[in-house]
Structure 1
């Protein structure tokens, strides 16, 4: 597997596991950290889309998106699953066919960066931002998630909490 894709797949799979929890309800999808921030469903969808917006240009492929027209937990699960499957099937070496630059829109700003800078300074940090916001929304909503749920590495005993 290509080392560009692996981190995206790891965190998309972590997000998929979180979204598959029994305590994930439809009403959580509209929760936000602040009134001017994306709700949970958009944070999850944007993380999936950013993984594609990063990897597709690096592999010299047309950017694809699996966003569903209606918001539901099942549609978000399908979007994540389709994104994971698509990224898993990217096989060619991106460094062989990579464009000289990548032009993209960030908010209302247009940018053009070299592929390595695009990955390091825009795509990867923004992907992690939206994954983190989804996690933070769910923690704020009271779901008992740990850092291990986010990163897949940390483990804590049941009932553990850090001292105040």
Structure 2
């Protein structure tokens, strides 16, 4: 079996991003129904030293769309732009990531295999191959931030389950 970087990365990002967009809509409804201010939901976190909800979800876009953009450029640096402060802003950012991923060409992503790239943040510069960056750095970060955002909503009292998180699975037939 030939290794396909596209198959190892993109379909799973698409699946969970679609699920995330679904429960983000439910979160907005939950906030309105339960009298929670949007700013309160955006600032919610699991612990004082962890990013709040809105930064967790922005990180999902950064470690999916941004990671692949970085792999194509040969360098990835964390997104330090202002994070969305509303459900609508988060929805827009995640939809942008989804559209980017949906438009990727399989052959172009597979052609990244073996290409050198770097992670750069301040003085930190880590060398990777594109596939090692995507599979050992960005994918774990993506799932960490997606799971943490989901857990924040559960911690706020929102009734969502594992199937909301997983999204639509890729089944035969």
TM-score w.r.t. structure 1 length?
Answer: 0.80
| Shift in alpha-carbon separation, 1:141–1:106, aligned structure 2, 3 A | farther
Instruction: After the TM superposition, list the runs of 4 or more consecutive aligned residues in structure 1 that deviate by more than 3 angstroms.
Output: 57-63, 67-70, 105-109
Q: How does 1:1-164 map to 2 (within 5 A)?
A: 2-3=6-7, 4-21=9-26, 22-24=29-31, 26=38, 27-60=40-73, 70-93=84-107, 94-97=109-112, 100-105=115-120, 109-152=124-167
Unaligned runs of at least 5 residues, structure 1: 155-164
Q: Which runs of 5+ in 2 are unaligned?
A: 1-5, 33-37
RMSD, aligned α-carbons: 2.7
User: When the two structures are superposed, what TM-score results if normalisation uses the length of structure 2?
Assistant: 0.76
Q: Which moved more, 1:144-153 or 1:33-42?
A: 144-153
Q: Greater relative contact order: 1 or 2 (C-alpha under 8 angstroms, separation 6 or more)?
A: 2
Which has a greater percent of helix? Answer: 2
Q: Deviations over 1:88-124 (max 9, x none)?
A: 1111522325562110136973211112211221010
CA contact (8 A) 1:29 1:41 kept: yes
Pairs aligned (count): 152
